[in-house]
Amino acid sequence: MNREKLTPMMQQYLAVKDKNPDAILFFRLGDFYEMFFDDALLASRELEITLTKRDAGLEDKAPMCGVPYHVASGYISKLINKGYKVAICDQVEDPKLAKGIVKREVTQIITPGTFTDTEYLNSDLNNYLLSIFIHGYSLNLTYSDYSTGEIYFTEKTFLSKSELYNFLQDEIDRISPNEILLNEEITSKFKDKIKRDNIFINPYISENLRDIDLFKELGEYFSVNFKNSLKNFIYENNISDYTSLKKILQYLVVTQKINLKHINNIKYYNNFDYLILDESSKRTLEVVRGLNTFTKKGSLLDVLDKCSTSMGSRKLKKWVESPLVDIDKIFERQNLIEAFTKDLLLQDKLEKLLKEVYDIERLVVKISNGSINPREIASLKNTIINSEKIKEILENYDNEYLKYLGKKFIDLTYIYEKIQDILIENPPVVIEDNRIIREGYSEDLDELFKFAIEGKNWLLDFENKERERTGIKKLKIKHNKILGYFIEITKSFLDQVPDDYIRKQTLVGSERFFSLELKNMEGKLLGSKERALSLQSEVYNELKDYIAGEIYKIQILADNLSNLDALLSLAKVSNLNNYVRPKFNEDGFIEIINGRHPIVESYMNDDFFVPNNTYIDTKKHMIHIITGPNMAGKSTYMRQVALITIMAHIGCFVPCDSANISLVDRIFTRIGASDNLSKGQSTFMVEMQEVADIIDNATPKSLLILDEVGRGTSTFDGLAIANAIIEYIAENIKAKTLFATHYHELVHLEDKYDSVENLTIAVDRQDDEIIFLRKIIKGFTNNSYGIDVAKLAGIDETIISRAKEVLNVIEKENEDINVDLNKEYIKKEDNNPEILNFINKLKEINILEISPMEAFNLLNEIINKSKEL
């Protein structure tokens, strides 16, 4: 393209586009944001808007499409959701004052991880931007929600390659960011491994690869608070490399081009401070997402979330995803939840106040960049009043924990009073020419507005006066933007127009006039209105600045409110679902009396969820091998144990009659491949990789849930692997383990190890029908009841009876093999002593020393013995 031939505006466009090649450029022209060339082709397709053309000075017209500026955010959110970046190019000077082409600049680059429009963000989810820096086998990562100003950092040094990779995977899945920034090292080595659907991945912006001095180069963008907390943070945590942190801050500055005053406090976290749940365990236990829904629905979080505010829901999600391992912190939550569960009236009172609370946590970005509107400030004010009421209720409540919780609420009445003084009671969203400042706040402003109102009365009087003077009853005083004020008279009365009226405009049915008196007043009116509005925005901007200076405290309040909301939600759910407070022990056992599965029971209507007991420890009751027919409830039972354990670590109450839990460090949940195949997620290979991960990482403090592991391959392979895994756990890992299996052959392990116990789920038979009792009992079953289940499922009787015939034949044939397997491979001690002797004899033979005749006889003997088996 010959750029010199382009129109000046197109040259300006391309100059801006050159600087932002990886973003779709929204170029402001009048009331539209226009896109050109490739951006136009792409955007018209993605947004389903009409593609047009515009003369650009070239032979072919430039492809173009556009959206009206006042509805742009909807289109922007669509593009962001599809993983694009959008650069907003605005007019940065008054077009009236411009010489030549109006100056335009990119004022903001919106990316999936920096999008803050609350109208389009999911209010229950944080929108995280994640920055990862890997050097050798160490890494540090930082993630931030730009809409709330939260920012978190962690580092790991000297990991093995697989540890590094696992850690990254788990963190990415846990944080579930909408955008990731990475350094080259990961981009080349790990990119395909950290790739996820819906996550937008950026290498660090190349111009910024050089190291920067945060404080020198970006200092002006940060709040004083943040600068201090950052210095302490680096010092106290002894951090050597924080490149990921620098890069994320730099990225925010480069894209947002505005101060980051709402980023106030950086938190260091360590994944060992939490109960570790890898992605596969979180998925199968449906901790925050249902297996079938892929959304919150059907998850533990869904059961627990009865929050009144979005802030509370987001906080609770963090709690549920990161259960605690610090017993004091767990007790702290338990104590508060217990206090709330005992007083439903109190719950109700607080809940009502919380329902009126605004999402001030997400308001802070608008406070920081100055885009907060008057109605939002009024909402902040109301939130403060409600918080004061909450504080009062808690502080005066007769419970030391609640009192303390109330004390934590900081007093922000001075902000409330300031807003109350300045802003009217129910201000509008847009200011334009609406009055938003309270009468009495500024004398000057009152005077100007009074004049504007008096002017209106003057006009009414003037209209009446002129009607009387001229005798024209239909004479009207009107106003429009082009003519200003004028007198309108319809054609039929034109002969009555007085001499002092001056003609302004002729329309089909009427004429428009002005008089000197009207003109004079118009000047005064417009002038005072203009001054009133500019004075008003001055006052408003001062108020915004004042509030911006209090961001940090507003964030503390948001944190207090979300904490309270999450606690109340857990208390409410405990009351509703009859959960109890679990005890904790240091003896390594988990005891649950009449435990229930929190999610399954929540979906039960008429049916009754059958509760079950659990006792598992690291001694005599360490590994439970659970056999039982299909559909008996094995998976449900095991997951319920895991979920109750997780809930206890969250500090939450649990679904059972009583529970005594010991802290665990990790929970691993593995499901045999074929259980999952239908979802196309799992193969035998993945199943085995996941098992390998357990072998590497499980400790005696872990809880292992193994569900039909080994199923993804042939019977004997699978059986052999399952057997070997259990032995390995019993002998080496020594972790509490629940192992459901259809390999009945495994039940012999109970005899081999003191720590292994067989459990099964009771079934009953009535009139040839199987009945699931759902009760877990000691013992085992060697029947799969597959045909019974098929019958229950409604399969035709002819097929059922034929299947029974076939089964009889197969069982007969296989009986021998089964016996074989037990004798040879498993129960060596029960083997026929004659055969054992023979095998020992074989072992002693030196093949080089025997004669051909001896060899022949030996072979004969082997053949005969094998016929006996």
Q: Which C-beta is closer to ligand ADP: that of 238 or that of 605?
A: 605
DSSP string, 709-747: TTTTS-HHHHHHHHHHHHHHIIIII--EEEEE-S-GGGG
**145-184: which residues touch Mg ion (CB under 5 A)?**
none
Answer yes or no: are the C-beta atoms of 23 and 58 closer than 8 Å: no
Q: Which stretch binds ligand ADP (CB under 6 A): 181-189, 291-299, 517-525, 629-637?
A: 629-637
Answer with the entry of ligand ADP, Mg ion, none that 631 interacts with (C-beta below 5 to 8 A by kind).
ligand ADP
What long-range pairs does 830-834 form, CB within 8 A, spacing at least 24?
none
The answer to whether 857 is a known ligand-binding residue is no
Residue whose pair of structure tokens reads 């979005």 in the numeric block: 310
Q: Given the rule CB under 5 A, which of 309-317, 617-625, 630-638, 753-761 is the region that contacts Mg ion?
A: 630-638
Residue 867 burial (C-beta neighbours within 10 Å; 0-12, 13-18, 19+): exposed
Q: How many residues in the shown chain lie near ligand ADP by CB under 6 A? A: 12
Q: What whole-number distance in Å separates Cα of residue 794 and Cα of residue 784?
A: 17
Strands (E), 481-611: 484-490, 502-506, 510-514, 583-585, 590-595
558 among annotated binding-site residues: no
Closer residue to ligand ADP (CB): 649 or 774: 774
**Which stretch of DSSP H or E encloses residue 623?**
strand 623-627
| Nearest approach, Cβ of residue 20 and ligand ADP (Å) | 52
Q: Which stretch binds Mg ion (CB under 5 A): 174-182, 619-627, 632-640, 720-728?
A: 632-640
CB of 783 to Mg ion, least distance (A): 16
Residue 636 interacting with ligand ADP (CB under 6 A): yes
Tell whether residue 455 is among the known ligand binding residues.
Answer: no
Q: For ligand ADP, which residue of 47, 564, 632, 642 counts as binding (CB under 6 A)?
A: 632
Give the strand order in the sheet containing 62-68: 52-54, 62-68, 32-36, 24-29, 86-91, 104-110
Q: Using CB distances below 5 to 8 A depending on partner kind, what does residue 35 bind out of Mg ion, ligand ADP, none?
A: none
Tokens of 248: 């994320």
Pairing of strands 736-740, 623-627: parallel
Of 333 and 596, CB closest to ligand ADP: 596
Q: Which is nearer to ligand ADP, 603 or 825 (CB)?
A: 603
Residue 572 CB, shortest distance to ligand ADP, in Å, is: 24
Q: Which stretch binds Mg ion (CB under 5 A): 6-14, 150-158, 195-203, 628-636?
A: 628-636
Q: C-alpha angle with apex 715: 712 to 717, nearest 5 degrees?
A: 75
H/E stretch holding 227 reads: helix 224-236
Cβ closer to ligand ADP: 600 or 749? Answer: 600
- Its sign, for the CA torsion 167, 170, 174, 180, is positive
To the question of whether residue 491 is assigned a binding role by annotation, the answer is: no
| Cβ closest to ligand ADP, residue 168 vs residue 738 | 738
Position among 11, 271, 373, 630 found at the interface with ligand ADP (CB under 6 A):
630
d(CA 701, CA 627): 25
Interface with ligand ADP includes 774 (CB under 6 A)? Answer: yes
Ranked by CB distance to Mg ion, the top (closest) residue is 635
Residue 633 annotated as part of some ligand binding site: yes
Window 597-626: residues binding ligand ADP (CB under 6 A): 600, 609-610
Q: How far is the CB of 366 from ligand ADP (least distance, A)?
A: 46
**Known binder of ligand: residue 634?**
yes
Angle of CA points 622, 625, 630, to nearest 5°:
150
Beta bridge partners of 180: 130, 201
Question: Annotation-wise, does 310 bind a ligand?
Answer: no
| Count of CA atoms in the C-beta half-sphere (13 A) of 73 | 8
Residue 594 found at the interface with ligand ADP (CB under 6 A)? no
Residues 6+ apart with CB under 8 A from 292: 298
First to last CA, the chain: 86
Nearer to ligand ADP, 628 or 712 (CB): 628
- Residues 635-674: x/- map of binding to Mg ion (CB under 5 A)? x---------------------------------------
- Which is closer to Mg ion, CB of 335 or CB of 635? 635
Distance CA 204, CA 182 (A): 6
Nearest to 282 by CA among 268, 294, 270: 294
Of the two residues 88 and 738, which places its CB atom closer to ligand ADP in the complex? Answer: 738
The reply, when asked if residue 604 is annotated as ligand binding, is no
- Binding positions: 628-635
List of residues contacting ligand ADP (CB under 6 A) = 600, 609-610, 628, 630-636, 774
- Binding positions for ATP: 628-635
